[in-house]
Amino acid sequence: MLTDYHVHLRPDDLEATAAIHFTTANAERYQEVAAERGIGALGVSEHVHRFHQALDVWRHPFWVENALDDLDAYCAFVREETTLALGIEVDFVPGREDRLANLLEGRDWDYVIGSIHFLRDAAVDMDGDFDVWRSADPDRVWSRYFGWLGEAARSGLFDVLAHPDLVKVWGAERPRPSGDLRRFYDRAMDGIADSDVAIEVSTAGLRKPVGEIYPAPAFLEMCLEAGCPVALSSDAHVPDELGYGYDQAVELLDSIGVSEIATFDRRARRLEPLG
C-alpha cells in the first residue's frame, strides 16, 4: 500500500479559488495520477485558513486575507461528489485548543492533519512580512517549534503530525542551529510519546530549499522508539506532485525498519503493509 493523504486540491495562492478547484473534474485528475502511480489511498486536506470558520479560532492577518471559502461546502463536495478521503490540514494554535475542537467537531473527517507553520504571529516557512527568520535566533525558533509540536501531539486534536521538522524548510538559506539536532527533537518527544498520533513522512521537503524528506531520520527514529505509526504523504498542491519522491521515502522507511503505514477511515486508523 502507498498512501497520499496530505494533498491540496489547489495551489496556495488566492487566485486558486474553490469554484475552479473543488470540481469533480479536478478530483478526477488527482485520482487518475494517483492510480498511475500506485497510490491506493488518496485523500485531500485543504488548509484550514482558507475557510471563514477558521476565523473563530484565530484572526491572524494572513488567515483573514485567505478565509474565503465555506468549510461545510468543502466537506459536502468531497463526500458527495468525489471518492476521495476527507481530511483537513489544521494549524495548532496553543491556547485555542477548545476553539479548534469546536471547528473539527461535528464534521465527518476521515483524518485531521496537524501542522505548525506559525510560531505566534511569525511563520517558519513564509517569505515576507511574517517571516520568523527576519529577526529570530535559530536556537529559540527551533526550541519553540519542537515544544509546540509536542503540545500539538498531546492536544489529541490530530490524527497525523504533518511535515514534523518543517522548521528546516529553508535549508542553508536561513540561520540554522548547529550540532546534534536531537536536543530540539527531544522537546517534542514526551508529548508525542503520550499521544496516539501518526508521524507524517512527507516528500514535500524534497521540493523545498532544504531538499530533504520531512522529518530527518534521527527524528523519525525517536518517534518509532516512542511507538508512533507512520503516515506517508507528498503534500501535493497539483496532481503531478502526487507520490513525489516516493522511491526515496520508501527506501528511507525500509532502511529504518518501517514495514507498515497508516490508513484512515472516519478517524479510525489501520496499518497496512508498506509498498
Give residues in contact with Zn ion (CB under 5 A). 89, 115, 235
Backbone angles phi, psi at 87, to 5 degrees: -130, 180
Residue 225 C-alpha cell reads as: 522508539
Minimum CB distance to Zn ion smaller for 193 or for 206: 206
- Nearer CB in complex with Zn ion: 191/205: 205
Nearer to Zn ion, 110 or 190 (CB): 110
Q: How far is the CB of 10 from Zn ion (least distance, A)?
A: 11
Which pairs count as long-range contacts for 13-17, CB under 8 Å and 24+ apart, including other chains? 14/65, 14/66, 14/68, 17/68
Q: How far is CA 168 from CA 58, 94, 144, 189, 197, in A?
A: 25, 21, 13, 18, 21
**130 or 227, CB closer to Zn ion?**
130
**Closest distance of CB 4 from Zn ion, Å:** 11
Which of 89/110 has CB closer to Zn ion?
89
Give SS3 for 250. helix
Shortest separation between residue 159's beta carbon and Zn ion, angstroms? 14
Question: Least distance from C-beta 89 to Zn ion, angstroms?
Answer: 5
Q: In whole angstroms, how close is the CB of 255 to Zn ion at the nearest point?
A: 25
Interatomic CA distance for residues 181 and 195, integer angstroms:
22
Question: H-helix or E-strand containing 89?
Answer: strand 85-91
